[in-house]
Amino acid sequence: MRRLFIIDGSKALSTAIRRAFGRDTLIQRCQVHKARNILERLPKSMHASVRSALRQAWELDDAAKAEKLLRNLARRLNADWEGVAGSILEGLDEMLTVTRLCLPRELRRSLACTNIIENVMGTARRVCRNVKRWRSPSMAMRWTAAAMMEAKKGFRRLKAHKQLPALRAALDRQQPGTSTERPLAQIAEAA
C-alpha cells in the first residue's frame, strides 16, 4: 500500500522516510513551514509579494505551472537573496506532491501542511515536559499514549474528510517506481 508522508521539511526526516519505506515514497513538505522559512530571511517589505507568489503557486491545480511559478520566483530573488532562492528550489518536488496527485482543492489544502498533527505534538510536549528521567521505552510509550489521549479531546474532523477516498484512489494509481515528478496524466499515457 502506498503512503503519503507529510513532514515539516527536515532533510534528515525525508532521508529516513525514504530509507525505511523506499526511494519512491511520496512526501509532502509542509507549505506553511516552507513559507515561514522563506519569509524569515527576507525584509518585511518583501513579505507580502513573496507570500502572494507562493500562495498563487500552491493554489494552482497544475503542478507544472506551479513549479514554473516557484522557479520564476527563485530566479527573481536569486540576484539579491541567493539563500532564499536556494530555499525555494530545495525540496521543490516535495512541496507539490499533493498537487501532482490531482487531489481535490480542499483536501490538497488540508494535506499540504502539518497543521493536522501539530495539536498532537504540542500536547505531547506539554504533557511530557515534567518527566525528568525516562527510565525505559515502555515508560515513554505510556506517557506518549497519555499525551495522545489528552490531545484526542481537541480533535476535530478533517475538513475534507469526505474526500479521503480521492486520496486513496490517487495513492493506488501510483505504482512503485513512479515518481510524482510527472503529472498522473503523463504516467497514465506512458503505461
DSSP secondary structure, 25-71, as one string: -EEEE-HHHHHHHHHTTS-HHHHHHHHHHHHHHHH-S-HHHHHHHHH
Do 48 and 32 form a contact (C-beta atoms < 8 A)?
Answer: no
Give me the pLDDT at residue 183, please: 45
Give me the pLDDT at residue 111, please: 92
Give me the pLDDT at residue 177, please: 54
The residues, ordered by sequence, that sit 6+ positions from 144 with a Cβ below 8 Å of its Cβ are 124, 128
Give me the pLDDT at residue 97, please: 95
Give me the pLDDT at residue 175, please: 65
Give me the pLDDT at residue 176, please: 60
Give me the pLDDT at residue 180, please: 47
6: helix, strand or coil: strand
pLDDT, one tens digit for every residue, the chain (191 residues): 789 999 987 788 999 999 999 998 999 999 999 999 999 999 999 999 999 999 999 999 999 999 999 999 999 999 899 999 999 998 898 999 999 999 999 999 999 988 878 888 888 899 999 898 999 999 999 999 999 999 888 888 888 899 999 999 999 998 665 554 444 444 334 33
Please state whether beta strands 4-7 and 26-29 pair in parallel, antiparallel, or not at all (unpaired).
parallel
Give me the pLDDT at residue 184, please: 43
Give me the pLDDT at residue 121, please: 86
Per-residue DSSP letters for 76-107?
A: HHHTT-HHHHHHHHTTHHHHTHHHHTT--HHH
132: helix, strand or coil: coil
Residue 22 CB neighbour total at 10 angstroms: 13
**126: part of which helix (H) or strand (E)?**
helix 115-128
Q: Among residues 91, 99, 25, 22, which one has the least CA distance to residue 65?
A: 99
Please name every residue paired with 7 in a beta bridge, in sequence order, or none if there are none.
29
Q: Specify burial of residue 173 (Cβ count, 10 A radius: 0-12, 13-18, 19+).
A: middle
